[in-house]
């Protein structure tokens, strides 16, 4: 099986890179032997990588929900019908919890490389971004507007983040107080 692994090294405040190097890469090597890996360098880089994923049997997203979203959008834009595996190293990992995927790396790797597939709906949305441009996106998990979007924007701008819900709750309360 020819596999492309797209790693977001900044996921969960750098935990993505540390966990990939210390644990995830070894688990992948034990099962696959060889695979291709690319580390994202900026926002939307996973999108660009996935868009060019011609000839792969599987693409694995190593990051959070945002990385997964970019991978899916890139595959769609590139016209690729390739299964996506998820190894969640993000702060929230909401989508993994929604799917019931165990939150430990050995099980996530087995699921990402296995033959049991979960089909899910994608949400298509068109919106005007902060620069006034109309954007078109597919959402894998949720679409938020208004207060929800303001909380997410605040969360993304936090200088210090903690894994899990604490950072989201902090962003929620700050946004609630200033709104």
- pTM assigned to the model: 0.84
Domain boundaries, given as residue ranges, for the chain? 3-113, 144-179
Q: What is the DSSP letter of 129?
A: -
Q: What is the CATH number of domain 3-113?
A: 3.40.50.10330
Output the six-digit token pair for 45.
Answer: 């880089």
Which pLDDT belongs to residue 161? Answer: 60
How far apart CA 140 and CA 2 sit, in angstroms, is: 24
Which pLDDT belongs to residue 163? Answer: 56
Which pLDDT belongs to residue 159? Answer: 66
Contact 62, 89 (CB under 8 A): yes
Which pLDDT belongs to residue 146? Answer: 78
Strands 84-88 and 58-63: parallel
Q: CB-hemisphere CA count at 13 Å for 34?
A: 3
94 tagged catalytic: no
Residue spans of the chain under pLDDT 50: none
Report pLDDT digits (tens) over 23-42: 999 999 999 999 999 999 99
* Residue carrying structure tokens 């880089």: 45
Q: Indicate which residue of 57, 65, 94, 107 is catalytic.
A: 65
* Residue carrying structure tokens 């996106």: 137
Which pLDDT belongs to residue 164? Answer: 58
């Amino acid at each position: 099986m020819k596999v492309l692994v797209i790693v977001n090294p900044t996921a969960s405040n750098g935990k993505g890179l540390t966990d990939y190097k210390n644990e995830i890469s070894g688990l992948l090597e034990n099962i696959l032997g060889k695979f291709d890996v690319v580390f994202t360098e900026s926002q939307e880089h996973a999108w660009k990588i996935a868009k060019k994923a011609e000839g792969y049997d599987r693409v694995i997203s190593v990051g959070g929900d945002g990385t997964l979203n970019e991978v899916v959008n890139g595959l769609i834009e590139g016209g690729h019908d390739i299964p996506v595996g998820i190894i969640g190293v993000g702060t929230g990992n909401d989508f993994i919890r929604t799917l019931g995927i165990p939150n430990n790396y050995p099980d996530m790797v087995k699921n990402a490389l296995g033959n049991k597939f979960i089909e899910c709906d994608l949400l298509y949305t068109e919106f005007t971004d902060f620069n006034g441009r109309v954007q078109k996106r597919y959402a894998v998990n949720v679409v938020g507007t208004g207060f929800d979007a303001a909380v997410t924007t605040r969360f993304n701008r936090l200088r210090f983040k903690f894994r899990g819900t604490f950072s989201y709750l902090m962003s929620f309360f700050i946004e609630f107080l200033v709104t």
